[in-house]
Every structure is written in C-alpha cells, then in structure tokens.
A and B are shown apart, each in its own frame.
Chain A
C-alpha cells in the first residue's frame, strides 16, 4: 500500500494564480481531510469528506474548494492564491471517525509559497 500520497511536494505561486493540490489514498478510507500547518498554530482543518460526493467545511475553508468524485481522490483547489495561503498542506484519511478507534493517516505534505 502506498498509503496517502500528495503531489506536488513543493510549489511556488504568484498572487492570484490558481492550482490544485492532489491527494490520493489506497486504503479504502471513507473519510478524507485537508489541513494546513502554520508555525505555532498546530493543524487547522480546511475541508473534509465522509465519502464520495460528500464534502463539508472545516474551520478555515475560505479561498479553498474541494470535491470528492471517487473514494480514493480528494483534490484541494486554491481559487486565487494569496500570500496568507503560504503554508504546509497535509491530506489525511481514515475510516469514518469512531471515537474509540480513530486514527488518521497523513500524507507527506505540500509546501506552498505564494509570492
């Protein structure tokens, strides 16, 4: 199993450009999510999905879109990049969260810089 994969590993964008961060998992997990990680702030949830065709907003969704057309893939779109979106982005997946057996599996991350 490859686990959770993310592409690209690094990306530099100019303000106003758009792009898509790719995330895929091969563990047949129903639940997938996107986080951003900024120094001193832990991880903040951007969007999540509990299955194909179902997405919902996390705590910092503005400026980002997601879709879930298959169980395996969960791309994150930046509509018009801003310097405030400079961050490290992590995709994670798990089976549907159940309190006593909850474990998320993380991808290696995408380091995004917006100039």
Chain B
C-alpha cells in the first residue's frame, strides 16, 4: 500500500538558516509527489510537484525538493529561512489506483528571529 511519512511534527530553525523538511514515501510504482503549504487560517496551496521529468524540482518562494528513488525520499529544502515561511507543510503522493492524494501528517515550520 502507498503511504507518506513526514518526520517531525514540528521543525524550528533560525531566520536565515537552512530549512529541511523530510518526506518519505512508499509506492510500488513510480510515484507522483507533491508539497503543499498551509499558512495560518488558510487553505492549502501547491508548493511544488514531482512528475518524473526531473529529480530536482523548484517551487515557489525559493523552495525546492529532490526526488531520491534509492532512499524513497522527497525532502523539501530552502537555503535561507524567512519569517514568512512559518506555516505547515504537507507532503502527498498520488494513489495509483484512483488518483486520490495520500497525505502526510504535516510538519509545522517555526522560524526563530
């Protein structure tokens, strides 16, 4: 069965530091993977997606993610955190049988001044 695991329900970094949010997936077929961001009291919006065209995917607001098949990972990174990055981030994989999204539990990113 396909699944998504996000390591760390909360991640805290200092402003200007590297952001690393971890996502591991399980899938028996080549996966299609997504990162969504949810700002406080808002809905989710797409940050970036992996659709097998390139293993390094660039998204909005300076975020990027690298697909590593050998590690079944799709970690999200940003070189320098900004206060406006404080939000909850969700990783998701497309369920192969019916194209629904399977969601990770989310990681809340906290930015320290």
Contacts and interface: CB of A to CB of B under 8 A. Distances in A.
Interface of A: 4, 40-45, 48, 58, 90, 92, 97-104, 106-109
Nearest to A48: B100
Contacts of A4: 43
A101 B49 CA distance: 9
A103 B46 contact: yes
Nearest to B9: A40
Interface residues of B, number: 21
Contacts of B42: 108-109
Given A42-B105, A45-B100, A58-B100, 12 more contacts: A42-B106, A43-B90, A43-B101, A43-B103, A44-B103, A45-B101, A99-B32, A99-B94, A100-B52, A101-B51, A102-B101, A106-B43
Query: Chain B's interface: helix, strand, loop or mixed, by majority?
Result: loop
Contacts of B94: 97, 99, 102
Contacts of A109: 41-43
A102 B49 contact: yes
A108 B43 contact: yes
Contacts of B9: 40
Contacts of A103: 46, 49
B44 A100 contact: no
B9 to A, nearest CB: 6
A58 B101 CA distance: 11
A106 B44 contact: yes
A90 B45 CA distance: 12
Contacts of A45: 100-101
A113 B42 CA distance: 17
Nearest 10 interchain pairs by C-beta: A106-B43, A97-B99, A42-B103, A100-B51, A43-B103, A106-B44, A42-B105, A99-B32, A108-B43, A103-B46
B105 A99 contact: no
